[in-house]
């Protein structure tokens, strides 16, 4: 029997926390749909985050039915043991393994789902389910709701009310436990080390793709399970494309290189952006943007503490970056006019932060009771101001055209402020120039 590499108490505690909030309800959480095998080769599979969060179970073709306060409380439907499929595609826990290794109350084969689910839902007063992840499963759930309605046990003839499971579980996932923070810290540490390797590797003449290979090699060598997302490795004016993913151009002398990349470790993801000169020395126009933007980024990190409104971070970034755009001659008029008209969005079109966790853009409401959310200890978020001057922006000073800079760190809110989980990744100009980008440290192809 394979042994899962995760501590099952973690998942039991998470289920208990969910149970205490939703007595009488039922959660139905299907596995992430299996990837289509393309010409009989496999592609990476990642479990649905919410199913993993509550079980640690990583196989496709499974469903968790969780009924707080009922017996059985947790029922895991799994693929059966099958020697043919296990010979071709690998080990399955089966019903026995699901019970012995994952600590659920009850396990059944997935083929029994249709027969058993109505019995399991009949005694529940509402259903938590997230539509639109798997169209086939959605259709099955519509039939299930109809079957529950028409069963004699549900008086009044109505369907079970359905609430969004992703939102309910998202509110739990938003608050990271000590255990979660330990794993996230490691994901961030791996990501930071990989950025340093990429900085040391980059030099004029290397391809963005080779830099990406350096990052990914470093992630895996340090024990990451996968990339948290496709890295952005953007040289020169490619950095002004926010979600640049081609990563296939040559890094040139005089270019800045923007790298946005993070590793996934234990289902938690790091998310770091650094921007540095390919040749190891910032030019004067590059410094003119980088220096003040770094000060803005550091001031935003300093702002993070319990009790401030999450939204205030973005508002502060808009204020400071609009002022910077005026100083740089990118915008004209007053700060107020440029903010009110949203003219600043030409150079700063994205938000300054998102929640971070098991998904890179993690879950959790940003507005609560119609009010912007207050930060609380245990929330993890990014701080990522940027400034991007389109290469064809004839209204911008010529020497600034085509520059794209973003600086992104990952922080977790503590009782008194925040812990910067990515502070080992250099971002000061001196550190970038002296230690990482000098010819003596170049290790790339010649
Ligand atoms: N890497 C995605 C983001 O920064 O939001
Ligand atoms: Mn981010
Ligand atoms: Mn990022």
Catalytic residue among 197, 271, 359, 362: 271
pTM of the model: 0.95
Q: Which residues line ligand 1 (CB under 6 A)?
A: 229, 260, 271, 354, 360, 384, 408
For residue 291, the CA-to-ligand 1 centroid distance in Å is 22
Closest listed ligand to the CA of 350: 1
Considering only 130-134, 151-155, 169-173, 297-301, which range has the smallest mean pLDDT? 151-155
Catalytic residue among 149, 350, 373, 401: 350
For residue 422, the CA-to-ligand 1 centroid distance in Å is 14
Q: Is 314 a catalytic residue?
A: no
pLDDT tens for residues 306-363?
999 999 999 999 999 999 999 999 999 999 999 999 999 999 999 999 999 999 999 9
Q: What mean pLDDT do residues 118-147 have? A: 95
Domain spans in the chain, listed from the N-terminal domain onward: 8-172, 175-436
For residue 232, the CA-to-ligand 3 centroid distance in Å is 8
Q: Is the pLDDT of residue 446 over 50?
A: no
What architecture is the 8-172 domain classified under in CATH? 3-Layer(aba) Sandwich (3.40)
Catalytic residue among 354, 359, 362, 409: 354
> Helices 94-102 and 8-21, interaxial angle, to 10°?
80
Closest residue (by CA) to atom 2 of ligand 1? 271
Q: Is 271 a catalytic residue?
A: yes
CATH topology of domain 175-436: Creatine Amidinohydrolase (3.90.230)
Phi first, then psi: give them for residue 107, nearest 5 degrees. Answer: -140, 145
**338 within 8 A of 273, measured Cβ to Cβ:** no
- Cα separation values, 74 from 19, 93, 119, 207, 369, Å: 10, 17, 14, 50, 31
Q: What mean pLDDT do residues 249-265 have? A: 98
pLDDT tens for residues 186-241?
999 999 999 999 999 999 999 999 999 999 999 999 999 999 999 999 999 999 99
Q: Is the pLDDT of residue 442 over 60?
A: no
- The closest of 293, 259, 296, 257 to 276, measured between CA atoms, is 257
Ligand 1 pocket test, candidate residues 228, 245, 354, 380, most atoms within 8 A of CB: 354
For residue 240, the CA-to-ligand 1 centroid distance in Å is 14
Q: Is 350 a catalytic residue?
A: yes
- The closest of 370, 358, 260 to 311, measured between CA atoms, is 370
For strand 126-128 and strand 162-163, is the pairing parallel, antiparallel, or unpaired?
parallel
């Amino acid at each position: 029997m394979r042994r899962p590499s995760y501590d099952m108490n973690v998942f039991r505690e998470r289920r208990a926390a969910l149970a205490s909030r939703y007595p009488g309800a039922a959660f139905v959480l299907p596995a992430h749909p299996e990837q289509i095998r393309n010409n009989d080769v496999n592609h990476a599979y990642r479990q649905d985050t919410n199913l993993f969060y509550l079980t640690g179970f990583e196989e496709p073709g499974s469903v968790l039915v969780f009924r707080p306060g009922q017996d059985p409380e947790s029922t895991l439907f799994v693929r059966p043991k099958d020697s043919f499929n296990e010979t071709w595609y690998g080990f399955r826990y089966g019903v026995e393994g699901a019970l012995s290794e994952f600590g659920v109350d009850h396990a059944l084969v997935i083929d029994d789902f249709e027969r058993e689910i109505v019995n399991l839902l009949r005694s529940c007063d509402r259903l938590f389910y997230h539509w639109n992840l798997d169209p086939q499963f959605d259709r099955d759930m519509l039939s299930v709701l109809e079957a529950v309605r028409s069963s004699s046990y549900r008086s009044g003839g109505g369907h079970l009310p359905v609430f969004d499971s992703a939102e309910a579980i998202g509110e739990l996932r938003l608050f990271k436990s000590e255990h979660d923070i330990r794993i996230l810290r490691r994901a961030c540490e791996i990501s930071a080390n990989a950025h340093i390797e990429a900085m040391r590797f980059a030099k004029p003449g290397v391809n963005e793709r080779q830099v990406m290979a350096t990052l990914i090699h470093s992630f895996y060598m340090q024990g990451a399970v996968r990339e948290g997302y496709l890295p952005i490795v953007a040289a020169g004016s490619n950095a002004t494309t926010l979600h640049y993913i081609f990563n296939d151009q040559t890094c040139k002398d005089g270019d800045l290189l923007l790298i946005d990349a993070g590793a996934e470790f234990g289902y938690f993801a790091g998310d770091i952006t650094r921007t540095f000169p390919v040749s190891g020395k910032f030019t004067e126009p590059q410094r003119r943007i980088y220096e003040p933007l770094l000060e803005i980024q550091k001031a935003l990190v300093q702002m993070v503490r319990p009790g401030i409104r999450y939204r205030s971070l973005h508002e502060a970034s808009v204020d400071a970056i609009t002022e910077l755009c005026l100083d740089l001659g990118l915008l004209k008029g007053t700060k107020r006019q440029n903010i009110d008209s949203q003219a600043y969005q030409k150079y700063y079109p994205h938000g300054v932060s998102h929640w971070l966790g098991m998904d890179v853009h993690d879950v959790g409401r940003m507005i609560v009771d119609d009010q912007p959310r207050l930060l609380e200890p245990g929330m993890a978020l990014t701080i990522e101001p940027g400034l991007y001057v389109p290469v064809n922006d004839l209204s911008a000073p010529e020497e600034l055209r085509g520059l794209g800079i973003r600086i992104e760190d990952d922080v977790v809110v503590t009782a008194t402020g925040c812990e910067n989980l990515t502070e080992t990744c250099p971002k000061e100009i001196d550190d970038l120039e002296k230690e990482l980008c000098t010819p003596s440290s170049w290790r790339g192809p010649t």
